[in-house]
Amino acid sequence: MCNVGKEKNAVISISDKQGLEKVGQFLLSNNYRIFGTSGTKNYLEEHGVNCESVEKLTGNPEILGGRVKTLSTSLLAGILSKDREDEDLKKFSYNAVDLVYVELYDFIGHFLSNSEDLVEFIDIGGVTLLRAAAKNFQRVIPVPGKSSMERVMERMKDGEVSLELRRALAGETFRLTAYYDQAISQWMEGESDIFVIGGREYSKLRYGENPHQKAHSYAMYPPFFEVLKKGKEVSFNNILDAWAAWDLVLRLGNGSSSVVKHAAPCGAATGSGSMKRAYESDPVSAYGGILAYNGVVDAGHVSYLKDKFLEVIIARDFDEEALELLDKKKNIRLLKGRENVYRIPDVRSAGNLLLVQEWNAMSHPNMECRSGSLSTRLEEDAGFGWEVVKSIKSNAIAIVRDGWLLSSCGGQPNRVDSARIALDRARSTGRISQDALLISDGFFPFRDSVELIESSGIRNIAAPMGSIRDEEVVDYAKNKGMTFIEVKERAFRH
């Protein structure tokens, strides 16, 4: 170990070293002596920056193939000492550390790329150094990443780093390590009586659902979209609607389209011309909505959309001509949706409780024809309708035909009202037909809804069972010559 006297000491351990030489040069010019782990030391020296081995502070070599580099009493004492002239430091010839700049191993990045030996990317030493520095923020500067280092350097240009900033950096450090540990615990899986959720700030939002509500967005993994054309800032409500639209087309498959307004699909279609059909499901509601397309948007699509007002278009991609044409629409936001989205659990708050559940990933549930006959076309429509109805708030009703959402209704406190409203909408557009299918996210508690459906002219129903009057409902459909398909799962959405 060495004795560096009054000179300030910085310990640096960085995984992404690009540009680190500028930091090193800045610290040297501010009377810091730099100590780095092997990779950091080699990088700085190759770029002409004097850096000494952290082994001078630990008194130990790196061992176990790099698993142990910085874990030592001497180094941690140097970070945790309240006073640079602490008697214990003098007694054991330990050296005070004044700044700790650490960037943790990219565990999440390696997790998403399905790296082998993922356990080797769990950072132990870096987390320990950062937490020690954060605990002792009254003397030591904890620096948990590049953006934090930029703030520190700006402050150093004007003098000392204030206690206020050191405390703020300590808070950032503990949030970072909590987030990091949460990602590892999620990978480990297993049941637990402790639930932790975290993420890095993705963007500051103008406001939340309403202008008086402050809001932020955070991401643990790469977000489900990339902004290609910003227009106005992507808002809180835009993100919710964009996810609802994108999630639906991911489930419906390639070439499908959806239009969402207030987190509910007002249009959806698969197959040829899906974008036009999805928009025309309900063009009144589609005005100012979010359009999702599971494919590449081209000039032909843009030509159709030229006189349509949409807040956001999210698609798998946009070709160059489409981007040029859409650039003329001043305020529209264009998002490139990710095809493989790593889903975190579905988390909602109820007062001071967090409710956590798995995503409703049930697609194409088992179905049984309880009356009438189940044709191939009807079976396909039932699969399509089920994905749509899963996206609508309960009590949810969707009327579909040939992979096209004709009408829908959700959010009503009783199912018969949802059915009535959906039927009225379909009737107003002339889309009621015998071969259409009405699908429900839950059982019909009474036969009144089925009577209403039968009187409209629709002859096909799909719904889960679970009512004490199930047989009465099915018998009514059977006596009226209707097809009734029992869906073996439920799709409530609150």
CATH number, domain containing residue 237? 3.40.140.20
Q: Which long-range contacts (CB under 8 A, 24 or more apart) does 197-206 make?
A: 197/344, 197/345, 197/347, 197/354, 203/233, 203/234, 205/233, 205/235, 205/236, 206/233, 206/235, 206/236
Question: What is residue 330's predicted lDDT score, i.e. its pLDDT?
Answer: 82
Same domain? For 328 and 396 the reply is: no
Q: Of 188, 215, 234, which closes a domain?
A: 188
Domain identity same for 49 and 94: yes
Say if 430 falls within a structural domain: yes
**Number of helices (H), then strands (E), in the chain:** 18, 21
**Is the predicted pLDDT of residue 440 greater than 50, yes or no?**
yes
Query: Tell me, what's the pLDDT at 391?
Result: 94
pLDDT digits (tens, 9 = 90+) for 84-118: 777 777 777 777 888 999 888 777 777 776 667 77
Task: Please state the domain count of the chain.
Answer: 3
Q: Round to whole Å and give the CA distance between 308 and 302.
A: 10
Question: Does some domain include residue 196?
Answer: no
3-state helix, strand, coil in the chain (%, to 5): 40, 20, 40
The verdict on 107 and 27 lying in the same domain is yes
- Pick the last residue of a domain from 129, 163, 188: 188
The CATH number that applies at residue 182 is 3.40.50.1380
Are residues 305 and 435 part of one domain?
no
**Residue-wise pLDDT tens digits, 50-67:** 888 887 777 777 778 777
pLDDT at residue 1 greater than cutoff 60: no
The average pLDDT across 434-463 equals 93
pLDDT score of 6:
61
Q: Are residue 239 and residue 307 in the same domain, yes or no?
A: yes
Is 144 in the same domain as 12?
Answer: yes
State mean pLDDT over 407-423: 94
Q: Is 482's pLDDT higher than 80?
A: yes
Average pLDDT over residues 171-188: 83
DSSP letters spanning 315-375: EEEE-HHHHHHHTTSSS-EEEEE-SS-PPPPEEEEETTEEEEE------S--EEEEES---
Query: Does any domain span residue 216?
Result: no
Three-class DSSP labels, 166-183: HHHHHHHHHHHHHHHHHH
Give the count of beta carbons closer than 10 Å to the beta carbon of residue 355: 11
One domain for residues 40 and 145: yes
203, part of any domain = no
Whether residue 35 is found in the same domain as residue 184: yes
Instruction: Output the pLDDT for position 2.
Output: 40
Asked if 323 and 183 sit in the same domain, the reply is no
Contact 463, 469 (CB under 8 A): no
Indicate whether 65 and 144 sit together in one domain. Answer: yes
Give the pLDDT confidence of 43-54 residue by residue, as tens digits.
888 888 888 888
Does the residue 48 lie in any domain?
yes
- Asked if residue 23 is part of any domain, the answer here is yes
pLDDT surpasses 50 at 39: yes
Asked if 177 and 85 sit in the same domain, the reply is yes
Strand partners, 225: 337
Side by side, the strands of the sheet bearing 289-297 are 225-229, 333-337, 310-318, 289-297, 257-261, 264-269
Is the pLDDT at 288 greater than 70, yes or no? Answer: yes
pLDDT tens-digit readout, 120-148: 777 788 888 999 999 999 899 999 988 88
Q: What is the pLDDT of residue 203?
A: 83
On whether residue 210 sits in a domain, the answer given is no
Write the CB contacts of 114 (distance below 8 Å, at least 6 apart in sequence): none
**Residue 266 belongs to what domain range?**
224-337
